[in-house]
Structure 1
Amino acid sequence: MTSMIDLNADLGEDEEPAGIARDVGIMDIVSSCNIACGGHAGSPDTMRRMLKAAKARSIAPGAHPSYPDRTGFGRQTMDISLENLEISLTRQLHEIAAIAAEVDILLTHIKPHGALYNDAQDDPILATLLVDIAARENLALVGMPGSLIQKKAGENDIAFIAEAFIDRRYTDNGRLVPRSQAGAVITDEDDRISQGICLAQGTAFSAQSGNSLILKAESLCLHSDSDGALGTARRMRLALEKAGIVIGPAG
């Protein structure tokens, strides 16, 4: 049984006052966060707000870059050259790093967003690119357990944080069910909490097919834009603590 787990959320993706307030509220609960840095969402103002809130709460902030696709919220695979993708990702990382320096807080990790995150798990070219960027920026890399990214990070001595999602359904091979499919996002809060506890304890839970699946995760993610995200975050933390699991940043 895992005695400690990181609880993270993807934040800074909604510039409306209600979205910012929700994200700040989530930061009272989680131990790390992934802040959108302009590729799919986010602005200098939202980055600054999220980083200041993370500093005030002593939680670990990370960069959440994506394909440069604000129109599609970074959730569609993009036809882009590797060179241009690297330029975009580097620009996103340097922008949030500059704001972090202004706020006087250190970034701890990189977590790709959306389609880039999913594509890179088993794509050798994208996995290598992300590992190289993490090495260059001296940041840990977040990805799926059992992925090619994890393998390449290990081969290159790059810190890797294995992450699983409490609000997403999985396929039998431990990958996320595409959002285009019905039921890909878990909407029932009890189901979210149940899956989160199984992931934290390393015990079996049900994949989309109904088959049992076990994933070894160091960090659990809740999407801030999922319906009821703030309430789920509160319940998830309470359930983890009740199970005797300590919550703290990974690594």
Structure 2
Amino acid sequence: MTVDLNSDLGEGFGAYRLGDDAAMLDVVTSANIACGFHAGDPSIMRRTCALAVERGVRIGAHIGYRDLPGFGRRAMAVVPDELRDETLYQIGSLDAFARAAGDRVRYVKPHGALYHAAAADPALATAIVTAMREFDAALALLGPAGTALESAALAAGTPFHGEGFADRAYTPAGLLAPRGLPGAVLAPDEAVAQALSIARDGKAVTIEDGTVAVAAASICVHGDSRAAVEMARRIRAALDEAAIPVRPFV
């Protein structure tokens, strides 16, 4: 039994900075790096890729809606063909910086509103997978198991890996509880316990204080909160103490 730890990184823009990417890259094994649509810019993409390669962390393209003001968390009416092109554009942009740093993009993870929309809509999921295969058929897709994203990947022969969230509560249906609901974002102690539960038992807590099955090869620790690095360190230490190896999923 092994598990990967991932985090959404490179999510600043221009003069704005979000999170301590350098510190987080000392903890996680995979980095979902923003590609300039929901966050990130060329200089941040270059710097984050270089830091990831320096630390042996796998690079993933964290694709999103073109929504800098809303941080990619607003629903947007993007048709599948346009989403395919925007996905290909984002992967290619990040891969250029990954290769300049000495590695390459190895997987794709949608961000925010796109993550939820593509998980529910087969046409959007297929658009993402189509762009991935146009760029490199070896790319893997990271996302919620048992959704349209997994179905589209499997139908196309694209490697798929399920993702769980340490710091988020779930609905009884196995989806992430909306951030605006009380209890949707877990406190550090709860996040450590949930990471262990997902890694050992494949279960996460629900917003209604129950549990739900979560099939996850990788566990996400969000990097945009003040306590994110300390939370990630505690989760990594807890996994080490439980003798659960932490390794990249690709």
Q: TM-score range, shorter-chain basis? A: over 0.9
Map Cα deviations across residues 98-132 of structure 1 (whole Å, 9 max, x no partner): 22222221111000100001111121111111121
Q: Which residue of 1 aligns with 2:34?
A: 36
- TM-score, normalising length from structure 1? 0.93
Map Cα deviations across residues 122-172 of structure 1 (whole Å, 9 max, x no partner): 211111111212222221111101112112212221111110100111001
SS in 2 for 1:58: coil
Map Cα deviations across residues 80-107 of structure 1 (whole Å, 9 max, x no partner): 2333322222222211112222222111
State how far apart, in whole Å, the 2-side matches of 1:44 and 1:51 are: 11
SS in 2 for 1:10: strand
State how far apart, in whole Å, the 2-side matches of 1:30 and 1:84 are: 32
1:46-195 paired onto structure 2 within 5 Å: 46-138=44-136, 139-186=139-186, 188-195=187-194
Query: Structure 1 stretches (4+) deviating beyond 6 angstroms?
Result: none
Native 8 Å contact 1:202 1:217 kept in 2: no
Q: Which moved more, 1:235-244 or 1:135-144?
A: 135-144
State how far apart, in whole Å, the 1-side matches of 2:91 and 2:200 are: 33
- Root mean square deviation of aligned Cα: 1.5
Q: Residues 112, 205 of structure 1: CA spacing in aligned structure 2 closer, same or farther, 3 A cutoff?
A: closer
Native 8 Å contact 2:122 2:148 kept in 1: yes
1:196 and 2:195 correspond: yes
Measure how far apart 1:185 and its partner are: 1.4
Map Cα deviations across residues 58-79 of structure 1 (whole Å, 9 max, x no partner): 1101110101111110001102
Q: Which residue of 1 aligns with 2:229?
A: 230
Percent of aligned pairs sharing the same letter: 37
State how far apart, in whole Å, the 1-side matches of 2:178 and 2:95 are: 31
Question: Number of residue pairs matched?
Answer: 247
SS in 2 for 1:154: helix
| Paired letter, 1:154 | L
Native 8 Å contact 1:165 1:221 kept in 2: yes
Q: Which residue of 2 aligns with 1:207?
A: 206
Structure 2, unmatched stretches of 5+, are none
State how far apart, in whole Å, the 2-side matches of 1:133 and 1:43 are: 21
State how far apart, in whole Å, the 1-side matches of 2:157 and 2:7 are: 26
State how far apart, in whole Å, the 2-side matches of 1:150 and 1:83 are: 19
Structure 1, unmatched stretches of 5+, are none
State how far apart, in whole Å, the 1-side matches of 2:214 and 2:80 are: 30
